Amino acid sequence: YRSFLPPISFSFRRRTTLHPPNTMFFVRPQMKYISVVSALSFAAQSSNARPSTLDEQSLSYFQGFIKGSYVGFESLLALAGFYENDDVKNNLNSNEESFQVHANEKESQTHIKIAGLGLGRTGSTSLVMALEILGYVVIHDDEQAEETDVYSAYEDELFDDDRFHEILGLRGYNATFKTAGHEWVAAHPEVKGILTVRDDPDKYVDSWLVAAPFIDIMEQRPFKWMRTVEELMPELSYEYRHTTTGGDVENYLDRDVLRQKYIEYNKEVRIRCVLSKTSRCSRPSFAKISFLFVCCVPNISLIQVQDTIPSERLLTFNVKQGWEPLCEFLGHPDPPQGIPFPHVHTRSKLEGEMFFLRMVTWVWKLFEVILFVSFLIAMRKAKAVITKDKEE
């Protein structure tokens, strides 16, 4: 498993195709600005893949909850394998040696350029939408249930991290929020990392605790019987119980554990960036500074500290900062004109999604009870008929 995986926020959505092509509503990064018309085109054509409202914070709690309930319905379809195409299903049903990449056409093949490094519920979905407006093709929550074969093959150790991301590039993705840790980013100078953060740790914990029960729901009937859930469960379990707690999986719902891990995780990524500035200094100077940080920061070894991401390739980003720092970091000369920075996947929406998924488990239990009672009634009637026949 990767050391740090940004946990998902569970709003699977359907794309028009399995591997997103470079269609006209994805505005290319080198353009100096994006018009309002382009943004409207983006929102209209991607409505099945991402939120259609760029500012969901303006919605009332009831509106957000209803939207979330519909997202829960989409999640149910995705987890049932409804959005997996035949190529993915064939890979899942074949043996490991016959795995097929099923790459996009040549003109839409690419490689990973951006990696999201923030933990879940830190604004990652909003950032994903911003990147897509800027022209990137991102693999995030929505695509995990569509690219199940790649995740499954990776968990089976059919290929390593490099090959995993190469396949994503061949399938048209050039940004990922589901697969890369900072160690992998540090080892690939062509990749930039973005660390999304919240205003303070308590806000992160409050938001994450709404999402965390998702893994418990996936372990209940009928979800645990679904093929897609079965294939993704190792990844989901690691994301929800290990990454957010630093391995303290028994306390994945503990506020203090979650808060401390959030602080340590962000501090580690930032320190690696800071230490990278010393890598051009003399070796004694680097060793002294490394020793200082190792002593001050728990759970970070000297080897970990030396594995750094250069500061010019790491952006610590709060979505409240908007377009300017993001565009500057990515080399876009001008922020999009007339397009608000996305603020989506609010807590009310997430609560609606979790409610719908829980309701599925409740309805299933009710169905089992009804089925059992129906069976008893049928048996009783059959016994009565047999008794009557014997008496006659």
What ranges make up the beta strands (E) of the chain?
114-116, 138-139, 175-176, 192-196, 314-317
Q: What is the pLDDT of residue 354?
A: 96
pLDDT of 300 > 70? The answer is no
Mean pLDDT lowest among 123-137, 241-255, 263-277: 263-277
Long-range CB contacts for residues 375-382, cutoff 8 Å, separation at least 24: none
**Tens digits of per-residue pLDDT, 60-96?**
999 999 999 999 999 999 999 999 999 999 999 887 6
Q: Do the beta carbons of residue 87 and residue 54 sit within 8 Å?
A: no
What does the alpha-carbon distance between residue 179 and residue 176 come to, in Å, rounded to a whole number? 6
pTM reported for the whole predicted model: 0.78
Kindly state the percentage of the chain with pLDDT values over 70.
Answer: 77
Q: What is the mean pLDDT of the chain?
A: 80
Of residues 219 and 285, more confidence is placed in 219
Of 214, 142, 208, 215, nearest in space to 175 by CA: 142
pLDDT 10s digits, 339-352: 999 999 899 999 99
Q: What is the pLDDT of residue 232?
A: 94
Q: What ranges in 307-346 are assigned the alpha helix state H?
A: 323-330
Res 6: pLDDT: 37
